């Protein structure tokens, strides 16, 4: 998936007003996800994405394996994005949904195995990016 297509999908599905807002939400989510992953998994994920997206997965703290709960993940995305928790939760879920469509299912499986069970619901995206209810 091309960069503009990825960001366009995030903007559309999250109902964001601009391309820049979608870029910011994407960057905040991918950086936070990268910190949660351990070893070279963030790099492996980045290898399947356009360079503009890959950079967010290769931030200095990528691969540290931070032990974040799902709630803490959403809170950190909120801080990075600079929006309230409700909005950032939706944005993060949309970004992860688009990510799931943009890379191989094998790579998504490798990512999911590193995350606690509560994170599994982030990767359950129905047709056209519909998001199921989330429980924390």
pLDDT at 37: 94
Low-confidence ranges of the chain (pLDDT < 50): 127-128
User: What pLDDT does 60 receive?
Assistant: 85
Cα Dmax for the chain: 36
Q: What is the pLDDT of residue 80?
A: 97
Q: Dihedral of CA 111/123/34/6: which sign?
A: positive
Please tell us whether the domain made up of 3-125 is placed in CATH 1.10.490.110: yes
pLDDT at 126: 53
Structure-block tokens of residue 32? 């936070």
Torsion of CA 68, 25, 59, 73, to 10 degrees: 0
Dist CA 1 CA 103 (whole Å): 8
CA distance 41 to 108: 10
Is residue 14 within 8 A of residue 24, CB to CB? The reply is: no
Q: What is the pLDDT of residues 68-91, one digit of tens each?
A: 999 999 999 999 999 999 999 999
Give the C-alpha separation, 80 to 58, whole Å.
16
């Amino acid at each position: 998936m091309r960069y503009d297509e990825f960001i366009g999908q995030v903007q559309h599905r999250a109902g964001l007003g601009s391309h820049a807002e979608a870029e910011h939400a994407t960057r905040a989510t991918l950086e936070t996800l990268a910190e949660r992953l351990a070893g070279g998994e963030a790099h492996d994920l980045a290898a399947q994405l356009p360079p503009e997206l890959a950079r967010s997965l290769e931030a200095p703290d990528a691969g540290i394996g931070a032990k974040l709960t799902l709630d803490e993940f959403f809170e950190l995305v909120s801080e990075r994005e600079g929006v309230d928790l409700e909005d950032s939760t939706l944005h993060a879920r949309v970004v992860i949904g688009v990510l799931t469509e943009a890379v191989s299912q094998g790579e998504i499986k490798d990512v999911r195995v590193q995350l606690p069970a509560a994170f599994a619901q982030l990767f359950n995206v129905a047709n056209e990016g519909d998001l199921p209810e989330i429980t924390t």
